[in-house]
Structure 1
Amino acid sequence: MAKADKKQATQKPAGTGVQDIATQLGLKPGQSIDLLKALHILTREGKLNQDSRRKLKQVYHLYQFIEPLLNELSKDGHAVTLADHGAGKSYLGFILYDLYFKALGQGKIYGIETRAPLVEASQKLAADLAFDRMEFLNMSVAESTHVDFMPSQFDVVTALHACDTATDDAIAFGLEKKAKAMVLVPCCQAEVAACLRQTKAMSLSRTPLAELWRHPIHTREMGSQITNVLRCLYLEACGYQVTVTELVGWEHSMKNELIVARYTGQKKRNSAQRLRQLLAEFGLASLEGVRYPHFPKEELAA
Protein backbone atom coordinates (compact mmCIF):
# COMPACT_ATOMS: atom_id res chain seq x y z
CA MET A 1 0.00 0.00 0.00
CA ALA A 2 1.34 3.45 -0.91
CA LYS A 3 2.26 5.76 1.97
CA ALA A 4 -0.48 8.25 1.04
CA ASP A 5 -3.10 5.50 0.88
CA LYS A 6 -1.89 4.00 4.18
CA LYS A 7 -2.06 7.39 5.87
CA GLN A 8 -5.56 7.97 4.50
CA ALA A 9 -6.74 4.56 5.76
CA THR A 10 -5.60 5.26 9.31
CA GLN A 11 -7.13 8.73 9.47
CA LYS A 12 -10.35 9.12 11.48
CA PRO A 13 -13.39 10.41 9.64
CA ALA A 14 -14.09 14.11 10.06
CA GLY A 15 -15.97 14.85 13.26
CA THR A 16 -15.05 11.56 14.96
CA GLY A 17 -12.89 13.38 17.51
CA VAL A 18 -15.79 15.59 18.59
CA GLN A 19 -18.07 12.58 18.76
CA ASP A 20 -15.52 10.70 20.87
CA ILE A 21 -15.36 13.59 23.34
CA ALA A 22 -19.15 13.78 23.52
CA THR A 23 -19.40 10.03 24.17
CA GLN A 24 -16.66 10.03 26.80
CA LEU A 25 -18.26 12.91 28.67
CA GLY A 26 -21.77 11.51 28.44
CA LEU A 27 -23.11 14.53 26.55
CA LYS A 28 -26.61 14.49 25.14
CA PRO A 29 -27.00 14.05 21.36
CA GLY A 30 -26.75 17.37 19.58
CA GLN A 31 -25.05 19.10 22.48
CA SER A 32 -22.66 21.80 21.27
CA ILE A 33 -19.18 21.33 22.71
CA ASP A 34 -18.37 24.93 21.76
CA LEU A 35 -21.27 26.10 23.94
CA LEU A 36 -20.02 24.09 26.91
CA LYS A 37 -16.58 25.62 26.44
CA ALA A 38 -18.08 29.11 26.26
CA LEU A 39 -19.95 28.42 29.51
CA HIS A 40 -16.65 27.17 31.02
CA ILE A 41 -18.22 23.81 31.75
CA LEU A 42 -15.57 22.31 29.46
CA THR A 43 -11.96 23.50 29.30
CA ARG A 44 -10.44 24.55 25.99
CA GLU A 45 -9.05 21.02 25.71
CA GLY A 46 -12.52 19.54 26.15
CA LYS A 47 -11.94 18.35 29.71
CA LEU A 48 -14.51 18.32 32.49
CA ASN A 49 -13.48 18.96 36.09
CA GLN A 50 -15.40 17.58 39.05
CA ASP A 51 -17.26 20.81 39.82
CA SER A 52 -18.33 21.23 36.20
CA ARG A 53 -19.37 17.58 36.04
CA ARG A 54 -21.74 18.17 38.97
CA LYS A 55 -23.22 21.27 37.33
CA LEU A 56 -23.74 19.52 34.02
CA LYS A 57 -25.30 16.48 35.70
CA GLN A 58 -27.78 18.72 37.54
CA VAL A 59 -28.77 20.60 34.38
CA TYR A 60 -29.06 17.40 32.33
CA HIS A 61 -31.19 15.74 34.99
CA LEU A 62 -33.43 18.80 35.11
CA TYR A 63 -33.66 18.72 31.32
CA GLN A 64 -35.11 15.20 31.54
CA PHE A 65 -38.05 16.63 33.48
CA ILE A 66 -38.47 19.71 31.29
CA GLU A 67 -38.23 18.08 27.84
CA PRO A 68 -41.53 16.12 28.14
CA LEU A 69 -43.29 19.32 29.20
CA LEU A 70 -41.88 21.16 26.18
CA ASN A 71 -42.92 18.31 23.88
CA GLU A 72 -46.45 18.44 25.20
CA LEU A 73 -46.74 22.22 25.10
CA SER A 74 -45.23 22.63 21.62
CA LYS A 75 -47.81 20.35 20.00
CA ASP A 76 -49.85 21.82 17.16
CA GLY A 77 -47.08 24.29 16.38
CA HIS A 78 -47.35 26.31 19.59
CA ALA A 79 -44.29 28.54 20.21
CA VAL A 80 -43.34 27.82 23.82
CA THR A 81 -42.27 30.64 26.12
CA LEU A 82 -40.04 29.84 29.09
CA ALA A 83 -38.88 32.09 31.94
CA ASP A 84 -35.73 31.04 33.80
CA HIS A 85 -35.57 32.88 37.13
CA GLY A 86 -32.37 33.46 39.08
CA ALA A 87 -30.62 32.49 35.86
CA GLY A 88 -27.06 33.18 37.07
CA LYS A 89 -24.70 32.25 34.23
CA SER A 90 -27.72 30.75 32.41
CA TYR A 91 -26.37 27.20 32.17
CA LEU A 92 -29.93 25.88 32.13
CA GLY A 93 -31.26 28.40 29.61
CA PHE A 94 -28.42 27.94 27.13
CA ILE A 95 -28.52 24.15 27.28
CA LEU A 96 -32.31 24.13 26.91
CA TYR A 97 -31.99 26.35 23.85
CA ASP A 98 -29.14 24.28 22.39
CA LEU A 99 -30.85 20.92 22.88
CA TYR A 100 -34.47 21.87 22.22
CA PHE A 101 -35.40 25.39 21.13
CA LYS A 102 -32.72 25.66 18.42
CA ALA A 103 -34.04 22.70 16.44
CA LEU A 104 -37.66 23.64 17.15
CA GLY A 105 -37.19 26.88 15.23
CA GLN A 106 -39.60 28.83 17.41
CA GLY A 107 -40.32 29.69 21.03
CA LYS A 108 -38.37 31.95 23.32
CA ILE A 109 -36.40 31.81 26.58
CA TYR A 110 -36.19 34.72 29.01
CA GLY A 111 -33.41 34.70 31.61
CA ILE A 112 -34.06 36.83 34.71
CA GLU A 113 -31.02 37.75 36.82
CA THR A 114 -30.17 40.57 39.26
CA ARG A 115 -26.38 40.62 38.66
CA ALA A 116 -25.69 42.93 35.73
CA PRO A 117 -22.29 41.43 34.71
CA LEU A 118 -23.85 37.97 34.35
CA VAL A 119 -26.71 39.37 32.27
CA GLU A 120 -24.27 41.21 30.00
CA ALA A 121 -22.13 38.09 29.56
CA SER A 122 -25.20 36.01 28.69
CA GLN A 123 -26.42 38.61 26.19
CA LYS A 124 -23.02 38.59 24.48
CA LEU A 125 -22.82 34.80 24.36
CA ALA A 126 -26.34 34.51 22.92
CA ALA A 127 -25.39 37.02 20.20
CA ASP A 128 -22.13 35.19 19.44
CA LEU A 129 -23.97 31.88 19.09
CA ALA A 130 -26.87 33.41 17.13
CA PHE A 131 -29.31 32.20 19.79
CA ASP A 132 -31.73 34.89 18.65
CA ARG A 133 -34.70 33.77 20.71
CA MET A 134 -33.01 34.24 24.06
CA GLU A 135 -33.47 37.46 26.05
CA PHE A 136 -31.79 38.37 29.32
CA LEU A 137 -33.20 40.88 31.78
CA ASN A 138 -31.34 42.57 34.62
CA MET A 139 -34.01 42.64 37.33
CA SER A 140 -35.38 40.70 40.25
CA VAL A 141 -37.94 37.95 39.86
CA ALA A 142 -40.53 40.10 41.63
CA GLU A 143 -39.86 43.06 39.30
CA SER A 144 -40.19 40.88 36.18
CA THR A 145 -43.76 39.94 37.14
CA HIS A 146 -45.04 43.47 36.57
CA VAL A 147 -43.02 44.92 33.66
CA ASP A 148 -45.20 45.74 30.66
CA PHE A 149 -42.79 44.48 27.97
CA MET A 150 -42.93 40.85 29.11
CA PRO A 151 -45.51 38.45 27.63
CA SER A 152 -48.78 38.33 29.55
CA GLN A 153 -48.59 34.53 29.64
CA PHE A 154 -45.75 32.00 29.93
CA ASP A 155 -45.83 28.27 29.32
CA VAL A 156 -42.98 27.15 31.58
CA VAL A 157 -41.31 28.76 34.60
CA THR A 158 -38.02 27.41 35.92
CA ALA A 159 -35.92 28.38 38.93
CA LEU A 160 -32.72 26.42 39.55
CA HIS A 161 -31.28 27.24 42.99
CA ALA A 162 -33.06 30.59 43.26
CA CYS A 163 -32.14 31.71 46.77
CA ASP A 164 -34.54 32.21 49.68
CA THR A 165 -37.76 33.98 48.65
CA ALA A 166 -36.77 34.16 44.96
CA THR A 167 -38.39 30.74 44.53
CA ASP A 168 -41.61 32.13 46.05
CA ASP A 169 -41.37 35.05 43.63
CA ALA A 170 -40.95 32.60 40.75
CA ILE A 171 -44.12 30.81 41.86
CA ALA A 172 -45.94 34.14 42.08
CA PHE A 173 -44.68 34.96 38.56
CA GLY A 174 -45.93 31.61 37.27
CA LEU A 175 -49.35 32.11 38.81
CA GLU A 176 -49.62 35.67 37.51
CA LYS A 177 -48.55 34.54 34.01
CA LYS A 178 -50.84 31.47 34.06
CA ALA A 179 -47.91 29.08 33.55
CA LYS A 180 -48.76 25.59 32.34
CA ALA A 181 -45.82 24.15 34.26
CA MET A 182 -43.25 25.14 36.89
CA VAL A 183 -39.97 23.35 37.56
CA LEU A 184 -38.32 24.52 40.78
CA VAL A 185 -35.17 23.58 42.69
CA PRO A 186 -35.19 25.72 45.86
CA CYS A 187 -31.95 26.87 47.42
CA CYS A 188 -31.16 28.47 50.79
CA GLN A 189 -34.31 29.49 52.67
CA ALA A 190 -34.32 31.89 55.62
CA GLU A 191 -37.71 33.56 55.85
CA VAL A 192 -39.67 30.82 57.63
CA ALA A 193 -36.71 29.98 59.89
CA ALA A 194 -36.61 33.63 61.00
CA CYS A 195 -40.32 33.47 61.88
CA LEU A 196 -39.77 30.24 63.83
CA ARG A 197 -36.98 31.87 65.84
CA GLN A 198 -39.17 34.85 66.71
CA THR A 199 -41.98 32.69 68.09
CA LYS A 200 -39.83 29.88 69.52
CA ALA A 201 -40.39 30.68 73.22
CA MET A 202 -44.15 30.85 72.79
CA SER A 203 -44.19 27.66 70.73
CA LEU A 204 -42.10 25.75 73.31
CA SER A 205 -44.61 26.63 76.01
CA ARG A 206 -47.54 25.63 73.80
CA THR A 207 -46.55 22.38 72.12
CA PRO A 208 -43.83 19.70 72.41
CA LEU A 209 -43.57 19.78 68.60
CA ALA A 210 -41.52 22.97 69.01
CA GLU A 211 -38.64 20.73 70.13
CA LEU A 212 -38.27 19.97 66.42
CA TRP A 213 -36.86 23.47 65.89
CA ARG A 214 -35.50 24.42 69.34
CA HIS A 215 -31.82 24.12 68.35
CA PRO A 216 -30.54 26.60 65.71
CA ILE A 217 -29.48 23.95 63.20
CA HIS A 218 -32.91 22.32 63.51
CA THR A 219 -34.58 25.72 63.12
CA ARG A 220 -32.79 26.15 59.80
CA GLU A 221 -33.65 22.67 58.54
CA MET A 222 -37.25 22.78 59.74
CA GLY A 223 -37.64 26.20 58.15
CA SER A 224 -36.47 24.79 54.83
CA GLN A 225 -38.73 21.75 55.05
CA ILE A 226 -41.80 23.76 56.06
CA THR A 227 -41.15 26.31 53.31
CA ASN A 228 -41.26 23.69 50.57
CA VAL A 229 -44.29 21.91 52.05
CA LEU A 230 -46.18 25.23 52.07
CA ARG A 231 -45.12 25.92 48.48
CA CYS A 232 -46.48 22.56 47.34
CA LEU A 233 -49.78 23.05 49.15
CA TYR A 234 -50.08 26.55 47.67
CA LEU A 235 -49.55 25.24 44.14
CA GLU A 236 -52.11 22.47 44.67
CA ALA A 237 -54.60 25.00 46.06
CA CYS A 238 -54.06 27.08 42.89
CA GLY A 239 -54.82 24.21 40.51
CA TYR A 240 -51.49 22.43 39.97
CA GLN A 241 -50.61 18.77 40.22
CA VAL A 242 -47.36 18.62 42.20
CA THR A 243 -44.57 16.05 42.19
CA VAL A 244 -41.62 16.27 44.60
CA THR A 245 -38.46 14.26 44.04
CA GLU A 246 -34.64 14.45 44.13
CA LEU A 247 -32.78 16.35 41.45
CA VAL A 248 -29.57 14.30 41.66
CA GLY A 249 -27.81 12.24 44.31
CA TRP A 250 -27.08 14.01 47.60
CA GLU A 251 -23.35 13.63 46.95
CA HIS A 252 -23.70 16.21 44.17
CA SER A 253 -25.75 18.86 45.96
CA MET A 254 -27.36 19.35 49.38
CA LYS A 255 -29.94 21.63 47.74
CA ASN A 256 -31.53 18.74 45.99
CA GLU A 257 -35.33 18.98 46.17
CA LEU A 258 -37.11 19.19 42.83
CA ILE A 259 -40.70 20.45 42.64
CA VAL A 260 -42.53 19.90 39.34
CA ALA A 261 -46.00 21.48 39.07
CA ARG A 262 -48.35 21.00 36.11
CA TYR A 263 -51.52 23.03 35.77
CA THR A 264 -54.72 20.99 35.73
CA GLY A 265 -57.21 23.62 36.88
CA GLN A 266 -58.37 21.39 39.74
CA LYS A 267 -57.91 23.55 42.83
CA LYS A 268 -57.63 21.36 45.91
CA ARG A 269 -59.65 22.82 48.74
CA ASN A 270 -58.10 20.36 51.18
CA SER A 271 -54.61 21.64 50.32
CA ALA A 272 -55.79 25.20 50.93
CA GLN A 273 -57.16 24.21 54.33
CA ARG A 274 -54.01 22.31 55.28
CA LEU A 275 -51.82 25.24 54.28
CA ARG A 276 -53.82 27.57 56.46
CA GLN A 277 -53.67 25.14 59.38
CA LEU A 278 -49.91 24.83 59.10
CA LEU A 279 -49.47 28.59 59.02
CA ALA A 280 -51.42 28.81 62.26
CA GLU A 281 -49.66 25.84 63.89
CA PHE A 282 -46.16 27.18 63.22
CA GLY A 283 -46.92 30.82 63.99
CA LEU A 284 -46.53 31.93 60.39
CA ALA A 285 -49.76 33.89 59.99
CA SER A 286 -47.76 37.00 59.05
CA LEU A 287 -46.78 35.31 55.76
CA GLU A 288 -50.35 34.81 54.54
CA GLY A 289 -50.79 38.03 52.61
CA VAL A 290 -47.12 38.30 51.64
CA ARG A 291 -46.42 34.86 50.17
CA TYR A 292 -49.85 33.70 49.05
CA PRO A 293 -51.42 36.54 47.02
CA HIS A 294 -53.32 34.09 44.79
CA PHE A 295 -54.69 32.11 47.71
CA PRO A 296 -58.53 32.04 47.74
CA LYS A 297 -59.63 34.95 49.89
CA GLU A 298 -62.27 32.90 51.67
CA GLU A 299 -59.55 30.50 52.84
CA LEU A 300 -57.48 33.31 54.33
CA ALA A 301 -60.41 34.75 56.23
CA ALA A 302 -60.33 34.02 59.96
Structure 2
Amino acid sequence: MEDKEAIAKELRSSKEFLNAIALNIEQAGDDRDVKKFNEVVGFCEQIIQIIQTYQIDKEVVFLECSCGKSYLSFAINYILSKRFSINTIFYGVDINQILIKKCNQTKDNLGYQNMHFINDRIINVQIEKPVDIVIALHACDIATDEAIAKGIKLGAKYIAVVPCCQNQIRNRLKIGHPLVNITDFGLLRYRFADILTEALRAQFLTGAGYYVKFTEVTSPKFTPKNLMIIARRKKGSKKYNMDKYKNLDEMFHTEFILQDYFSGYELR
Protein backbone atom coordinates (compact mmCIF):
# COMPACT_ATOMS: atom_id res chain seq x y z
CA MET A 1 0.00 0.00 0.00
CA GLU A 2 1.31 3.41 -0.95
CA ASP A 3 1.63 6.15 1.63
CA LYS A 4 1.29 9.89 1.30
CA GLU A 5 4.94 10.56 2.10
CA ALA A 6 6.19 8.46 -0.83
CA ILE A 7 3.72 10.06 -3.25
CA ALA A 8 4.58 13.56 -2.05
CA LYS A 9 8.28 12.84 -2.48
CA GLU A 10 7.74 11.60 -6.02
CA LEU A 11 5.74 14.68 -6.99
CA ARG A 12 8.21 17.03 -5.32
CA SER A 13 11.07 15.40 -7.21
CA SER A 14 9.84 16.92 -10.48
CA LYS A 15 9.88 20.69 -10.10
CA GLU A 16 9.39 20.93 -13.85
CA PHE A 17 6.07 19.10 -13.56
CA LEU A 18 4.88 21.15 -10.58
CA ASN A 19 5.83 24.37 -12.35
CA ALA A 20 3.95 23.24 -15.45
CA ILE A 21 0.72 22.78 -13.49
CA ALA A 22 1.40 26.00 -11.51
CA LEU A 23 1.51 24.35 -8.10
CA ASN A 24 4.09 26.49 -6.28
CA ILE A 25 4.67 24.55 -3.09
CA GLU A 26 8.22 25.83 -2.58
CA GLN A 27 7.21 29.48 -2.59
CA ALA A 28 7.26 30.97 0.90
CA GLY A 29 3.89 32.02 2.23
CA ASP A 30 1.91 30.20 -0.45
CA ASP A 31 -0.20 28.19 1.98
CA ARG A 32 -3.03 27.71 -0.51
CA ASP A 33 -0.82 25.74 -2.90
CA VAL A 34 0.61 23.68 -0.02
CA LYS A 35 -2.95 22.88 1.09
CA LYS A 36 -3.92 21.89 -2.45
CA PHE A 37 -0.77 19.79 -2.83
CA ASN A 38 -1.57 17.77 0.30
CA GLU A 39 -5.16 17.23 -0.84
CA VAL A 40 -3.92 15.99 -4.21
CA VAL A 41 -1.38 13.67 -2.57
CA GLY A 42 -4.07 12.14 -0.36
CA PHE A 43 -6.38 11.68 -3.33
CA CYS A 44 -3.59 10.04 -5.35
CA GLU A 45 -3.04 7.59 -2.50
CA GLN A 46 -6.65 6.41 -2.76
CA ILE A 47 -6.57 6.22 -6.56
CA ILE A 48 -3.41 4.09 -6.49
CA GLN A 49 -5.19 1.62 -4.21
CA ILE A 50 -8.06 1.45 -6.71
CA ILE A 51 -5.76 1.03 -9.73
CA GLN A 52 -3.99 -1.86 -8.02
CA THR A 53 -7.23 -3.83 -8.44
CA TYR A 54 -7.20 -3.43 -12.24
CA GLN A 55 -5.63 -5.76 -14.77
CA ILE A 56 -2.39 -4.50 -16.30
CA ASP A 57 -3.76 -4.47 -19.85
CA LYS A 58 -6.96 -2.62 -18.89
CA GLU A 59 -7.62 0.87 -20.22
CA VAL A 60 -8.81 3.09 -17.37
CA VAL A 61 -10.91 6.15 -18.16
CA PHE A 62 -11.20 8.99 -15.63
CA LEU A 63 -13.69 11.84 -15.54
CA GLU A 64 -12.77 14.76 -13.29
CA CYS A 65 -15.80 16.90 -12.52
CA SER A 66 -15.52 20.63 -11.87
CA CYS A 67 -11.84 20.17 -12.67
CA GLY A 68 -10.74 23.82 -12.40
CA LYS A 69 -7.01 23.88 -13.16
CA SER A 70 -7.07 20.08 -12.94
CA TYR A 71 -4.19 19.71 -10.50
CA LEU A 72 -5.74 16.40 -9.51
CA SER A 73 -5.90 14.78 -12.96
CA PHE A 74 -2.44 16.00 -13.90
CA ALA A 75 -0.97 14.59 -10.69
CA ILE A 76 -2.79 11.25 -11.01
CA ASN A 77 -1.68 11.00 -14.64
CA TYR A 78 1.92 11.71 -13.66
CA ILE A 79 1.97 9.21 -10.78
CA LEU A 80 0.22 6.40 -12.65
CA SER A 81 2.50 6.76 -15.66
CA LYS A 82 5.47 6.23 -13.35
CA ARG A 83 4.00 3.33 -11.38
CA PHE A 84 1.81 1.25 -13.69
CA SER A 85 1.89 -0.19 -17.19
CA ILE A 86 -1.70 0.70 -17.96
CA ASN A 87 -3.35 2.92 -20.52
CA THR A 88 -5.20 5.85 -19.00
CA ILE A 89 -7.47 8.47 -20.50
CA PHE A 90 -8.52 11.57 -18.59
CA TYR A 91 -11.48 13.82 -19.25
CA GLY A 92 -11.96 17.03 -17.31
CA VAL A 93 -15.14 19.08 -17.32
CA ASP A 94 -15.76 22.57 -15.99
CA ILE A 95 -18.17 25.42 -16.76
CA ASN A 96 -15.29 27.94 -16.66
CA GLN A 97 -14.11 28.37 -20.24
CA ILE A 98 -10.93 30.21 -19.21
CA LEU A 99 -9.82 27.37 -16.93
CA ILE A 100 -10.55 24.77 -19.61
CA LYS A 101 -8.39 26.72 -22.06
CA LYS A 102 -5.61 26.82 -19.46
CA CYS A 103 -5.88 23.06 -18.87
CA ASN A 104 -5.56 22.39 -22.59
CA GLN A 105 -2.46 24.59 -22.73
CA THR A 106 -0.94 22.77 -19.76
CA LYS A 107 -1.54 19.31 -21.19
CA ASP A 108 0.01 20.41 -24.50
CA ASN A 109 3.04 21.78 -22.65
CA LEU A 110 3.43 18.48 -20.81
CA GLY A 111 2.77 16.40 -23.92
CA TYR A 112 -0.09 14.55 -22.24
CA GLN A 113 -2.05 13.40 -25.26
CA ASN A 114 -4.27 11.19 -23.11
CA MET A 115 -6.03 14.19 -21.55
CA HIS A 116 -9.11 16.02 -22.83
CA PHE A 117 -10.86 19.03 -21.30
CA ILE A 118 -14.44 20.04 -22.00
CA ASN A 119 -16.32 23.27 -21.26
CA ASP A 120 -19.76 22.11 -20.08
CA ARG A 121 -21.92 21.35 -17.08
CA ILE A 122 -21.05 18.09 -15.38
CA ILE A 123 -24.50 16.59 -15.77
CA ASN A 124 -24.65 17.45 -19.49
CA VAL A 125 -21.18 16.45 -20.62
CA GLN A 126 -20.89 13.68 -23.21
CA ILE A 127 -17.88 11.37 -22.93
CA GLU A 128 -16.69 9.33 -25.90
CA LYS A 129 -15.59 6.30 -23.90
CA PRO A 130 -17.09 4.31 -21.01
CA VAL A 131 -15.94 5.97 -17.78
CA ASP A 132 -14.35 3.82 -15.08
CA ILE A 133 -13.62 6.35 -12.35
CA VAL A 134 -15.36 9.66 -11.62
CA ILE A 135 -13.39 12.03 -9.40
CA ALA A 136 -14.01 15.46 -7.89
CA LEU A 137 -11.94 17.47 -5.43
CA HIS A 138 -13.84 20.26 -3.67
CA ALA A 139 -16.43 20.73 -6.38
CA CYS A 140 -18.46 23.54 -4.84
CA ASP A 141 -21.91 22.94 -3.39
CA ILE A 142 -24.17 20.98 -5.77
CA ALA A 143 -21.33 20.34 -8.25
CA THR A 144 -20.40 17.41 -6.01
CA ASP A 145 -23.94 16.09 -6.38
CA GLU A 146 -23.75 16.52 -10.15
CA ALA A 147 -20.53 14.50 -10.11
CA ILE A 148 -22.17 11.72 -8.10
CA ALA A 149 -25.25 11.72 -10.33
CA LYS A 150 -23.12 11.69 -13.47
CA GLY A 151 -21.07 8.79 -12.15
CA ILE A 152 -24.18 6.77 -11.38
CA LYS A 153 -25.71 7.49 -14.78
CA LEU A 154 -22.47 6.55 -16.55
CA GLY A 155 -22.27 3.32 -14.58
CA ALA A 156 -18.80 4.24 -13.34
CA LYS A 157 -17.11 1.47 -11.39
CA TYR A 158 -15.79 3.99 -8.87
CA ILE A 159 -16.93 7.42 -7.74
CA ALA A 160 -14.46 9.25 -5.51
CA VAL A 161 -15.28 12.76 -4.30
CA VAL A 162 -14.08 15.18 -1.65
CA PRO A 163 -17.04 17.53 -1.10
CA CYS A 164 -16.65 21.23 -0.45
CA CYS A 165 -19.39 23.47 0.93
CA GLN A 166 -22.74 21.96 1.90
CA ASN A 167 -25.21 24.81 1.62
CA GLN A 168 -28.34 23.25 0.21
CA ILE A 169 -30.06 21.89 3.30
CA ARG A 170 -28.70 24.13 6.06
CA ASN A 171 -31.67 26.49 6.15
CA ARG A 172 -34.11 23.59 6.01
CA LEU A 173 -32.91 22.33 9.38
CA LYS A 174 -34.39 25.17 11.43
CA ILE A 175 -37.79 23.59 12.05
CA GLY A 176 -39.88 20.47 11.56
CA HIS A 177 -37.49 17.58 12.24
CA PRO A 178 -36.64 15.29 15.20
CA LEU A 179 -33.38 17.05 16.13
CA VAL A 180 -34.61 20.63 16.15
CA ASN A 181 -33.42 21.07 19.75
CA ILE A 182 -29.89 20.60 18.43
CA THR A 183 -30.17 22.63 15.25
CA ASP A 184 -31.63 25.63 17.11
CA PHE A 185 -28.01 26.70 17.49
CA GLY A 186 -26.38 28.12 14.38
CA LEU A 187 -22.96 26.50 14.65
CA LEU A 188 -24.43 23.11 15.53
CA ARG A 189 -26.89 23.41 12.63
CA TYR A 190 -23.97 24.22 10.32
CA ARG A 191 -22.00 21.16 11.40
CA PHE A 192 -24.98 18.85 11.44
CA ALA A 193 -25.89 19.96 7.91
CA ASP A 194 -22.44 18.81 6.79
CA ILE A 195 -22.93 15.38 8.34
CA LEU A 196 -26.47 15.00 7.05
CA THR A 197 -25.48 16.03 3.53
CA GLU A 198 -22.75 13.40 3.36
CA ALA A 199 -25.08 10.78 4.85
CA LEU A 200 -27.68 11.55 2.17
CA ARG A 201 -25.06 11.25 -0.55
CA ALA A 202 -23.80 7.97 0.88
CA GLN A 203 -27.29 6.48 1.19
CA PHE A 204 -28.19 7.58 -2.33
CA LEU A 205 -25.07 5.88 -3.68
CA THR A 206 -25.85 2.77 -1.65
CA GLY A 207 -29.38 2.73 -3.01
CA ALA A 208 -28.00 3.09 -6.54
CA GLY A 209 -25.94 -0.07 -6.12
CA TYR A 210 -22.61 1.08 -4.70
CA TYR A 211 -20.54 0.06 -1.71
CA VAL A 212 -19.61 3.27 0.12
CA LYS A 213 -16.82 4.11 2.51
CA PHE A 214 -15.55 7.34 4.04
CA THR A 215 -11.94 8.28 4.63
CA GLU A 216 -9.88 11.42 5.26
CA VAL A 217 -8.07 12.67 2.18
CA THR A 218 -5.56 14.64 4.25
CA SER A 219 -4.97 15.89 7.77
CA PRO A 220 -7.53 18.38 9.12
CA LYS A 221 -4.63 20.75 9.78
CA PHE A 222 -4.53 21.37 6.02
CA THR A 223 -8.29 21.65 5.52
CA PRO A 224 -11.42 20.97 7.59
CA LYS A 225 -13.07 19.82 4.35
CA ASN A 226 -11.09 16.58 4.28
CA LEU A 227 -13.85 13.97 4.14
CA MET A 228 -13.67 11.68 1.10
CA ILE A 229 -16.45 9.49 -0.24
CA ILE A 230 -15.33 6.41 -2.18
CA ALA A 231 -18.07 4.39 -3.85
CA ARG A 232 -17.56 1.11 -5.71
CA ARG A 233 -20.30 -0.26 -7.93
CA LYS A 234 -21.63 -3.66 -6.96
CA LYS A 235 -21.74 -6.44 -9.50
CA GLY A 236 -25.07 -7.88 -10.54
CA SER A 237 -28.44 -6.20 -10.01
CA LYS A 238 -28.84 -2.66 -11.33
CA LYS A 239 -32.14 -2.04 -9.56
CA TYR A 240 -32.37 0.92 -7.23
CA ASN A 241 -33.36 0.51 -3.58
CA MET A 242 -33.70 3.96 -2.06
CA ASP A 243 -35.51 3.06 1.18
CA LYS A 244 -32.75 4.27 3.51
CA TYR A 245 -32.17 7.41 1.47
CA LYS A 246 -35.89 8.22 1.38
CA ASN A 247 -36.29 7.65 5.12
CA LEU A 248 -33.47 10.09 5.84
CA ASP A 249 -34.69 12.62 3.29
CA GLU A 250 -38.25 12.54 4.63
CA MET A 251 -37.18 12.64 8.27
CA PHE A 252 -35.45 15.99 7.75
CA HIS A 253 -37.58 17.29 4.84
CA THR A 254 -34.44 17.99 2.82
CA GLU A 255 -35.77 17.52 -0.74
CA PHE A 256 -32.16 16.73 -1.52
CA ILE A 257 -30.84 17.80 -4.92
CA LEU A 258 -29.45 14.41 -5.96
CA GLN A 259 -32.88 12.96 -6.64
CA ASP A 260 -33.65 15.82 -9.07
CA TYR A 261 -31.07 14.46 -11.52
CA PHE A 262 -33.04 11.22 -11.79
CA SER A 263 -36.40 12.52 -12.92
CA GLY A 264 -38.03 9.71 -14.87
CA TYR A 265 -35.92 7.04 -13.19
CA GLU A 266 -37.62 4.49 -10.96
CA LEU A 267 -36.07 5.30 -7.58
CA ARG A 268 -37.78 2.74 -5.39
Bucket of the pairwise TM-score, normalised by the shorter protein: 0.7 to 0.9
- Cα-to-partner distance string for 1:103-158 (whole Å, 9 max, x where unaligned): 646221011111111111110010111100101111121221xx3xx135210000
Are the counterparts in 1 of residues 161 and 228 from structure 2 also a CA contact under 8 Å?
yes
| Aligned ranges 1:272-291 → 2 under 5 Å | 272-285=242-255, 287=257, 289-290=259-260
Aligned match of 2:87: 106
The answer as to 2:181 corresponding to 1:211 is yes
Unaligned runs of 5+ in 2: none
Number of residue pairs matched by the alignment:
262
Query: Which has the higher Rg, Structure 1 or Structure 2?
Result: 1
2:69 to 85, 89, 100: 89
Contact 2:208-2:240 within 8 A present in 1 as well: no
Mark the runs of 5 or more structure 1 residues left unpaired by the alignment: 1-22
The answer on whether the counterparts of 1:242 and 1:261 sit within 8 Å (CA) in structure 2 is yes
Displacement of 1:27 after TM fit? 2.0
Distance 1:257 1:53 in 2: 18
1:40 aligns to 2:17 (yes or no): no
Secondary structure of 1:77's partner?
A: coil
Partner of 1:135: 116
2:104 is aligned with 1:123: yes
- Are 1:169 and 2:154 counterparts? no
Q: TM-score, normalised by structure 1?
A: 0.77
CA distance in 2, matches of 1:70, 1:24: 17
Q: How far apart, in 1, do the equivalents of 2:90 and 2:242 lie?
A: 32
The structural deviation recorded for 1:72 is 2.2
> 268-277 or 80-89: which moved more?
268-277
Q: Which 10-residue stretch deviates more, 79-88 or 186-195?
A: 186-195
**Secondary structure of the structure 2 residue equivalent to 1:229:** helix
Q: 1:273 to 1:26 in 2, by over 3 A?
A: closer
Q: Is the 8 A contact 2:208 2:241 kept in 1?
A: no
Q: Any conservation in 2 of the 1:83–1:112 contact (CA below 8 Å)?
A: yes
Distance 1:284 1:262, change over 3 A: same
RMSD: 2.9
Structure 2 partner of 1:243 = 213
Q: CA deviation at 1:278?
A: 1.1
The one of 49, 59, 78 equivalent to 1:68 is: 49
Q: How far apart are the structure 2 equivalents of 1:58 and 1:191?
A: 24
**1:252 to partner: Cα distance:** 0.4
Residue identity matched to 1:107: T
More RCO (CA 8 Å, sep 6+): 2
Seen in structure 2, the aligned counterparts of structure 1 residues 271 and 31 have a Cα distance that, compared at 3 Å, is farther
AA matched with 1:134: M
The alignment's TM-score, normalised by the length of structure 2, stands at 0.86
User: 2:201 is matched by which residue type in structure 1?
Assistant: R
Partner of 1:188: 165
Cα distance in 2, alignment partners of residues 219 and 106 from structure 1: 46
Residues 17-66 of structure 1: per-residue CA shift (max 9 Å, x gap): xxxxxx999522796321101222237xx657443222211111110100
